[in-house]
A and B are shown apart, each in its own frame.
Chain A
Amino acid sequence: MKTIIHDLDEYYDSLFKSKCENVIRADGRYAPCQGCFGCWTKHPAQCYLKDTLQMVCRLIGKTDELVIVTDNYYGAYSSSVKNVLDRSIGVSTPFSTYRGKQMHHTLRYGKKKKLAVYAYGCMTEDEKKTFHYMVERNAINYGFREFEFHNLDKLNQLEEMEL
C-alpha cells in the first residue's frame, strides 16, 4: 500500500488522488501533537484529538511506501506536514529496541519498504544536507528499509513524475 502526504493545493491533491489511493492533504486544519503518549498508553494507535488526524497513525503504519511532498522549512518538513508526522507516533509501540545501533520504539505494523521525500522551495546547501539527514533518520525511526530524498526545482516536475 502506498500513501502520499502533501501540503499543496487542490490541483495537486486531485493529481495525486488520480495516481494513489491514499492521499493526505496536509492543510493545517488540525491540532498539533500534545505529547501525551495516549496513542501508546490509553487508546493504542489512536489520537485523543478528534480531528482528521485521529486515526492517521493506522494509515501510515500500514503503508509500505510513504511519499511526502513538502515545502522546505530550514531543511525540514513544512509545519503542516510535520504535524501529520508528529501525530503518527502510534505507528510504534511504547516498547523500545535498538535499530541502527540506537534506541527506537518497536514497530506496531512491522518494517516497511520505502520512504520518498520530495521537497520544494528555495533550499541552501546546508538545508539540503540537513533534509537528507532528517529523512535518513525518519526512515530508521519508522522502519523503512529504503529512503529517497529529492529537491524539486519546479513544482510542475511532479506532474510528470511517477511518485
Chain B
Amino acid sequence: MNPHKRSPLVIAAASLVYFFLYAPIVILILYSFNASRANVTFEGFITETSSRVVMDGSLVKASPCGFFHWYCDLSRNDDVIEAAENTLTIAFTATIIATTIGTMAALALQRYDFKFKPFSQLSLYIPIVIPEIVMGIGILTLFSQTFGALNSALNLTGDSRLSLGIWTVTVSHIAFMVPFVTLVVQARLQGFDKSYEEAAMDLGANEWTTFWRVTFPMILPGVLSGALLAFTLSLDDFVITFFTNGPGSTTLPIYVYGLLRRIITPQVNALSTVWILIVFLAVLALQWLQSREQKPAQ
C-alpha cells in the first residue's frame, strides 16, 4: 500500500481550500495597482503612459512611478512611516526582553525545583486559554487606575503626567510573548542529552563555562525560533495594542484599522502587499531555522 496515495476527492477538496486561502490575498495585491483612487472597482493597471490617476474627479499629472504609483505614495506618507517605526521599536525591544527572561524561566522550570514552580508553569498558559480582549481590558484597567492614582497623588500635570504610550504597549506585549518563548525553549530542553554537560564538568569546566560553551549553543536554535515567533506575534498584534496605545504610539495594525473605518485608497493595498512580502520572507527564515534545528550540526 502506498502511503502517499490520495483519492481525487481529497485532492479536489484541498485545492479548493487553498483557493479559499489565497484568492483574497491575490485580489488584495491586484488592487494595489489599481488606476482608480476610489478603489471601489478595479479600473485597470496604472501604466507608464496612462498614469493619470483620477483624483476627486480631476486629472493629476503623470506619476513618475507609473505602475508602482501607490507604493511611491506610500513611501511619502509620514503617518505610515511613523507607525512602522513604532511597530519595529516595540517588536525589537519586547523581543529582546521576552527572549532573555523567557529563556531563563525555561531553564528554571526544566532544571530546578523551587517554591513557586507550579504557579510559574501554570501562569504560562493564561494567554492561550483566555481571549485576548479580556487580557487587553484588564491591562488597560491596571494602567488607567494606577496612572490616575499616581497622577493625583504626586500632583503630576501636563507632560509629566503618566499616560499610555510606546512603553505601555511594549511592556504589555512582553507579557503575552514570554509564555511562547518559554514553552518553545522548554520543549527544546526536554529532548536535551545531559551527558554533554556532564562530560564538560568532568573535564573541569565550571557551571558558568559549561552553560555558555555547551548548553547555550545547543539550545540556541530553540531560543532563536522562540524569539522569531515572539517578534512576529508583536508585529501582528492588534487587540493588546488597541487597548494599551496612546497618542503617538500608533502601530501599523492600528493604523490600517483606522483607515478601514474612513477612506480607503489603493495605498492601503500597497501597504498590505509590502507587509505580505515581509511575512513571506520571515516565514522562509523561520522554516530555514527549523530545518537546521531538525538536523543538528554534525
Question: Do A and B come from the same complex?
Answer: no
